[in-house]
């Protein structure tokens, strides 16, 4: 069959990478996981901090989510509890090597699992975030500063009307602990009573028999009924940005 009758597959294909903005809370402040780019010749942005990412491997990856989990595990040793696609960005100028697309993901890592990343020595590190969602005091490779801010914005916005931030806590947890991570993610204080009423009415928590002694009156312990199932509240918290 002559080649000219073949279907018009494109002559050139874009590079496709997956980048993961893994978020956690350390010392009461949000952090993002960054990796140092290799110094090898030909590598773009040698030595710069960047989101952990990698190319889609058509031999190894069954799906894009599988790809993201593999990349995160291989580069940082972390298995994310929560992982979601945020957006795709593409263009000619992103990567000097070729027209490239990144599939940006956001991941939430409970404080407990934070140390998994420590083993990778100096090449992987948690960096604190500013209130605007950008890493403090580091210039990131490529457009990764923007990407981090975009992922943080997505998580923040969704935290206004879902129980997303619980994924930053190891189980079991207390309601004050839960309120605390919400306040850190949303960067504002929340009324105690309103928060408790809202959360308990949501019925996504399982009440345990035990309690945790924090020094004074012990707080009751809870667990999520289904860690994969996001609970969507009927009303958003107020004071939120109302931005699209």
- Footprint of DNA on this chain (CB under 7 A)? 174-176, 190-198, 201, 211, 213-220, 233-235, 237-239
**CA-CA distance, 226 to 61, in Å (whole number)?**
26
Q: Which does 190 bind (CB under 5 to 8 A by kind): a copy of itself, DNA, none?
A: DNA
Q: Which does 191 bind (CB under 5 to 8 A by kind): DNA, a copy of itself, none?
A: DNA
Q: Which does 73 bind (CB under 5 to 8 A by kind): DNA, a copy of itself, none?
A: none
64-83 positions binding a copy of itself, by CB under 8 A:
64, 67
Whose CA is closest to 164, among 150, 154, 173? 154
**CA-CA distance, 52 to 181, in Å (whole number)?**
24
Provide the pairing of β-strand 15-26 with 98-108.
Answer: parallel
Whose CA is closest to 76, among 43, 54, 100, 48? 54
The window from 99-107, 169-177, 191-199, 217-225 that contacts a copy of itself (CB under 8 A) reads 99-107
Number of C-alpha atoms within 13 angstroms, CB side, residue 241?
A: 12
| β-sheet with 205-212: strand ranges across | 173-174, 219-224, 205-212
Q: Which does 59 bind (CB under 5 to 8 A by kind): a copy of itself, DNA, none?
A: a copy of itself
Interface residue with a copy of itself among 26, 29, 43, 191 (CB under 8 A) is 43
Contact call for residues 56 and 64 (beta carbons, < 8 A): yes
Binding residues for a copy of itself, rule: CB under 8 A, are 1, 5-7, 9-10, 12-16, 38, 40-44, 55-59, 61-64, 67, 85, 87-92, 97-99, 101, 103, 161-162, 229-236, 238, 240, 242-244
């Amino acid at each position: 069959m002559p080649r000219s009758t073949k279907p018009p597959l494109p002559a050139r294909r874009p590079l496709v990478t997956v980048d993961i903005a893994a978020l956690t809370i350390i010392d009461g402040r949000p952090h993002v996981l960054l990796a140092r780019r290799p110094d090898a010749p030909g590598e773009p942005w040698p030595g710069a901090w960047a989101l952990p990412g990698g190319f889609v491997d058509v031999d190894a990856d069954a799906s894009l989510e599988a790809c993201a989990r593999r990349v995160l595990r291989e580069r940082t040793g972390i298995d994310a509890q929560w992982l979601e696609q945020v957006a795709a960005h593409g263009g000619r100028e992103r990567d000097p090597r070729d027209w490239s697309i990144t599939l940006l993901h956001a991941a939430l890592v409970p404080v407990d699992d934070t140390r998994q990343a420590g083993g990778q020595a100096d090449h992987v590190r948690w960096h604190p975030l500013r209130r605007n969602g950008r890493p403090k005091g580091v210039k990131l490779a490529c457009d990764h500063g923007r990407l981090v801010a975009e992922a943080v914005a997505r998580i923040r916005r969704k935290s206004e009307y879902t129980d997303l931030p619980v994924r930053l806590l190891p189980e079991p947890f207390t309601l004050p602990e839960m309120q605390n991570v919400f306040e850190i993610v949303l960067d504002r204080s929340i009324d105690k009573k309103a928060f408790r009423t809202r959360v308990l009415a949501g019925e996504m928590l399982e009440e345990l028999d035990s309690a945790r002694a924090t020094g004074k009156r012990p707080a009751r312990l809870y667990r999520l009924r289904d860690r994969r199932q996001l609970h969507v509240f009927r009303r958003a918290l107020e004071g939120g940005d109302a931005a699209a």
